[in-house]
């Protein structure tokens, strides 16, 4: 089967390898471009841990700062792996979403230990600061990257849809799902999705994807790449 991966190359390539090892073909065409944003407040004195809600966040931090000894609390396994690959020494994964990340922080850290620094993108999903504040934690959000949306569907994605040889599209965020639906519709390719399955990381992603007439929508049991790959395998049978 042939799957379209809509993530930027750094995140898409491991997924492509995993799908290819399972006997599938892949096409990578990012719907967003990651661009660093100059840090306005990178003061780390008094910070007890870094919070990251995407691998792009920790990559942007690593490009902006040499610090590697602060503990890193990551939303999922992919972002935790990215942190370890970049040389961070103490990394824990919530293996879930913003809510599970907040729960892990509340369980493992102390409100008296210092401020929490959330390394984020310009587009915010969920209220991490609010959840932590309810538990008595002080946090600060620093935007270090921007995910800029493409204005048209890419040539590889368009060609795959037009050919009728595309079996599935992997969608990892509500924003990406909504963007794919809009770009496919603008390109006159909505009807071509009737033979394609939307493979979604969460129900929130699936809700946005439902704007197109897919052959089907599958949702990962948990919001992580491995669970999505498992959902893809079930859809492929």
Q: Bridge partners of 97?
A: none
Furthest CA-CA distance within the chain: 58
pLDDT at 233: 83
Helical residues (DSSP H) of the chain, grouped into ranges: 9-21, 55-64, 77-85, 98-108, 128-134, 155-163, 174-186, 203-209, 225-236
How is domain 2-31+151-236 classified at the CATH fold level? Rossmann fold (3.40.50)
Query: Which pLDDT belongs to residue 211?
Result: 96
Helix-strand-coil split of the chain, %, nearest 5: 40, 25, 35
- In degrees and rounded to multiples of 5, residue 224 shows phi and psi of -145, 160
- State the pLDDT at residue 157: 95
**Amino acid 42: pLDDT:** 81
Question: What per-residue confidence (pLDDT) applies to 231?
Answer: 87
Q: How far is 70 from 223, CA to CA, in rounded Å?
A: 26
Sequential pLDDT tens for the chain (237 residues): 999 999 988 889 999 999 999 999 999 999 999 999 987 778 899 999 999 999 999 999 999 999 999 999 999 888 999 999 999 999 999 988 899 999 999 999 999 999 999 999 987 767 899 999 999 999 999 999 999 999 999 999 999 999 999 999 999 999 999 999 999 999 999 999 999 999 999 999 999 999 999 999 999 998 888 889 988 887 776
93 exposure class (CB count in 10 Å sphere: 0-12, 13-18, 19+): buried
Spans of all domains in the chain: 2-31+151-236, 34-148
- Asked if residues 6 and 172 have their Cβ atoms less than 8 Å apart, the reply is yes
Same fold, 2-31+151-236 and 34-148: yes
Stated as kind and residue range, the H or E segment containing 4 is strand 2-5
Contact predicate 164/193, CB 8 Å: no
**Neighbouring C-beta atoms of residue 38, cutoff 10 Å:** 8
* Model pLDDT, residue 163: 93
Dihedral (C-alpha) 54, 24, 234, 155: value to the nearest 10 degrees? 60
Predicted confidence at residue 103, as pLDDT, reads 96
Domain 34-148 has CATH 3.40.50.10090: yes
């Amino acid at each position: 089967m042939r799957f379209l991966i809509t993530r930027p190359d750094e995140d898409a390539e491991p997924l492509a390898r995993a799908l290819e090892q399972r006997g599938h073909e892949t096409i990578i065409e990012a719907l967003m471009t990651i661009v660093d944003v100059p840090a306005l407040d990178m003061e780390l004195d008094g910070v007890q841990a870094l919070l990251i809600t995407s691998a792009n966040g920790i990559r942007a931090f690593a490009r902006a700062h040499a610090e590697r000894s602060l503990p890193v609390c990551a939303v999922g396994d992919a972002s935790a792996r990215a942190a370890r690959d970049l040389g961070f020494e103490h990394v824990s994964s919530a293996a879930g979403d913003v809510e599970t990340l907040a729960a892990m922080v509340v369980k493992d850290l102390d409100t008296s230990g210092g401020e929490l620094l959330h390394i984020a993108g310009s587009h915010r999903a969920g209220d991490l600061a609010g959840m932590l504040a309810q538990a008595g934690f002080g946090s600060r959000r620093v935007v270090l990257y921007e995910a800029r949306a493409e204005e048209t569907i890419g040539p590889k994605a368009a060609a795959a849809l037009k050919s009728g040889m595309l079996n599935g599209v992997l969608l990892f965020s509500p924003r990406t799902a909504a963007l794919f639906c809009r770009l496919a519709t603008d390109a006159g390719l909505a009807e071509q999705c009737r033979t394609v399955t939307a493979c979604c990381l969460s129900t929130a992603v699936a809700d946005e994807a439902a704007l197109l007439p897919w052959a089907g929508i599958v949702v990962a049991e948990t919001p992580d790449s491995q669970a999505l790959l498992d959902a893809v395998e079930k859809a492929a049978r």
